[in-house]
Structure 1
Amino acid sequence: MAESSRQLPSNMVAREFGEVNIRPVGTQLEVTFTIAMEPQGVDAEGWQTGVALDASGSMREWFGQSLKGSFPPEALAEYRQKGWVYTKNDDGRSITMARPEAYEDGLRRGYLKNSENIIQPLAREFIGYLAENLDADGGTTVIYWACGNGGATEVLGDFTAQQCRELVLEGPKSVKFGDGTQLLPALKYFVERFSDAARGMYLFLTDGRLDDLDAIKRYTRELAQAIANGNRNPVKCVLVGVGSEIDASQMEQLDDLDTGTDVDIWDHKIAQEMRSLVEIFAEVVDENQLVAPMGRIFDSMGKQVKNFPDGLPAKVTFTMPRGSQFFELEVGGERIRQSVVML
């Protein structure tokens, strides 16, 4: 029985490849890889793009909205005298509480500091890249999602590559950070707003903890069926994991979701592992796009396992002996080696 497919981490993948997946099948290893490239020709036209930022409570730290550090004993004593720190009884437990004045003074004196905002520079990169290189109107739509009760969104607007350089991204303003993490409202926002777009590319930055996974799967299957039936245009969604405590399991479930069609809606990446932004297009290319006049693939024993005399496609699937440590793609007079051993 064939085992499930596994995607190699981005930092393991040769720079020439967009994505590499491996799947043991009996005595063979099935390998699928894509060439790292932006959409070309007609496939580069008519895109609408969006970047959605997870604003659930667990993301507060990554927006720079958490405080790090502690008050020294002498400062606590001072704050108690001023009434800035007090003790509260909660079900028989004594809890020390601090008023805003204590936090403000702690920040001024250096006892406390804000967590680093890792979302803002990362999101600016994605927004600018999509706006400049892909979006038909030159502006990428930006929203916060998982706000309020976990299902609310806050729309920031459309931003050009130039505008996003000064874009402040510190979390939602009109609603609070969310009490849950519901992805479906954000997905529907893009799909429904850009229903007439020739193509849609939507990125969702998150720590990967989703509360509505089953609902997303149902909606994704319906969306894929509509695309397969020709009732709507293609959509590609990419989950981008951020932070140091990413829950990748649900992201992988969506990436590997069987929609019952040939339409693949979801991909996932880990921001820290990404080598270049072009990786978001790893699953946009297909086997009908030719990227070189010819190409050959060899296993780690040097045996040719695939030949493309009439043109190398942008997406390739082949098999080689399960014990192979790597494969090599020969193209343009060079050989590109790719390990398939996952540590």
Structure 2
Amino acid sequence: MAHEQVVRPFSDVHRKGNQVIATMLHDPNVEGLDVALYMDGSASMEPEYGPRGVLAKLGGVRNNVEPQMRWMLEYLATKDRNGVLRVAYWATGDGTQLELVGDLTGPQAKEFKFPGPRFYGKGTVLLPVLRDYVAYIREAAANGAKRGVAVIITDSQLYDPADVRAYSAKVAAEIAAGRLPMLNFVFVGVGAAVDEEQMEEICHDEYPGVGHLWCHRHADRMEEMADLVAVLVDETMTVADGGVIYDQDGAVLKRYEGRLPAVLTFDVPESCTAFTLEVNGQRFTQPLPEEHDEHEEEGEGHGDEPEPPPVPTRRGHGHGH
């Protein structure tokens, strides 16, 4: 089969067996997404940030968090409506406090120092993060934000899962009533001390008129964190209010009700050679590549995004659909 070109509005099409994964081109101005990153600042994270002061000047000292935060922020800035991200350490001080790093652009983040919070936290309390982001997105919505994503990183078990779930239900009710834009919380746990069952329970909750607010993954090591964040954020992207995918004979392969995600995953018959996406009254037909072929449109999609680190084995589930 000849090399097939990826047609707009797709940036990448991949076929594996009878499954197709098609990624849509992303336009931050249309999406209107406002992103924030909250990095765990509890005491258990101190070894990952490494020593500070005189000890930091000694050879062999490594900050495992800083390169990951830099790459994540560079990547997230390509998704944000104005390229400016709210960044804070959470679970600092007594465990309930936030230390705001500031509003950073991708280029600023590339050189920014992330030595860790001033005061490492004595606990891991998540509710203040949610309150902070909701207050932030209310203000951002008044200035043009249409959607929000808060990326939250932790290496610990949460102290307040019941409070988080109760507050999430209130947030969902506000979204359903039109008083808040659509939000997603992207939750990434790192290391062996994370309570995956706790994360699952929070992310499993589904709310009337909204669906899932949370999605999560677990990384074994800090070096895997940035890639997992990129995957989850991509999965939360919405490019339209819905759509339908047909095969080359006009049979419906999949319907997307309510939202059309930026990453489309659907099954096709073995004989299928092309699919058509119908969205907003328009139709776009994309020839299917051979199995395992992966095509990316030159100069589009990921061309301006930072090069990701090596892809690790992924665990956990996304519920942001």
Normalized against structure 2, the TM-score is what? 0.64
Give the counterpart of 1:229 among 177, 189, 203: 177
Give the counterpart of 1:249 among 188, 194, 197: 197
Deviation sequence 1:276-301 (CA, Å, 0-9, x none): 825422133488555976479xxxxx
2:222 aligned with 1:277:
no
1:238 offset after TM fit, Å? 0.3
Give the counterpart of 2:125 among 182, 186, 195: 182
Aligned partner of 2:9 in structure 1 is none
Residues 124 and 330 of structure 1: is their aligned pair in 2 closer, same or farther, counting only changes over 3 Å? farther
Residues 315 and 168 of structure 1: is their aligned pair in 2 closer, same or farther, counting only changes over 3 Å? same
- The correspondence of residues 60-139 of structure 1 with structure 2, limited to 5 A, is 60-65=46-51, 114=61, 116-131=62-77, 133-139=78-84
Give the residue type in structure 2 aligned to 1:147.
T
Give the residue type in structure 1 aligned to 2:176.
A
Tell me, yes or no, if the aligned pair for 1:240 and 1:270 is still in contact at 8 Å. yes
Q: Which runs of 4+ in 1 moved over 6 A?
A: 327-330
Which gives a bigger RCO, structure 1 or 2 (Cα 8 Å, sep 6+)? 2
Aligned partner of 2:86 in structure 1 is 141
2:31 aligned with 1:55:
no
1:184 offset after TM fit, Å? 1.1
Aligned residues: 249
1:141 and 1:309 map into 2 onto residues whose CA distance is 35
Give the residue type in structure 2 aligned to 1:47.
L
1:245 offset after TM fit, Å? 4.4
Query: What runs of 5+ residues in structure 2 fail to find an aligned partner?
Result: 1-11, 275-286, 293-314, 316-321
1:237 offset after TM fit, Å? 1.3
1:244 and 1:309 map into 2 onto residues whose CA distance is 39
SS at match of 2:211: coil
1:37 offset after TM fit, Å? 4.5
1:268 and 1:126 map into 2 onto residues whose CA distance is 16
Aligned partner of 2:106 in structure 1 is 161
Aligned partner of 1:81 in structure 2 is none
Aligned partner of 2:147 in structure 1 is 199
Q: State the identity %.
A: 27
Aligned partner of 1:268 in structure 2 is 216
Aligned partner of 2:157 in structure 1 is 209
1:333 and 1:33 map into 2 onto residues whose CA distance is 8
Aligned partner of 2:95 in structure 1 is 150
Aligned partner of 1:23 in structure 2 is none
1:309 and 1:264 map into 2 onto residues whose CA distance is 18
Give the residue type in structure 2 aligned to 1:140.
L
Query: What runs of 5+ residues in structure 1 fail to find an aligned partner?
Result: 1-14, 18-31, 67-99, 297-304, 319-326
Normalized against structure 1, the TM-score is what? 0.60
Give the residue type in structure 2 aligned to 1:129.
Y
1:220 and 1:33 map into 2 onto residues whose CA distance is 33
Give the residue type in structure 2 aligned to 1:124.
R
SS at match of 2:115: coil
1:309 and 1:177 map into 2 onto residues whose CA distance is 47
SS at match of 1:238: strand
2:187 aligned with 1:239:
yes
1:200 and 1:236 map into 2 onto residues whose CA distance is 6
211-220 or 270-279, which deviates more = 270-279
The root-mean-square deviation of aligned C-alpha atoms, in Å, is: 4.0
Residues 120 and 295 of structure 1: is their aligned pair in 2 closer, same or farther, counting only changes over 3 Å? farther
1:65 and 1:328 map into 2 onto residues whose CA distance is 59
2:132 and 2:71 map into 1 onto residues whose CA distance is 22
Give the counterpart of 1:333 among 273, 288, 310: 288
SS at match of 2:206: coil
SS at match of 2:100: strand
2:111 and 2:159 map into 1 onto residues whose CA distance is 32
1:269 and 1:38 map into 2 onto residues whose CA distance is 24
Q: Which has the larger radius of gyration?
A: 1
Tell me, yes or no, if the aligned pair for 1:48 and 1:140 is still in contact at 8 Å. yes
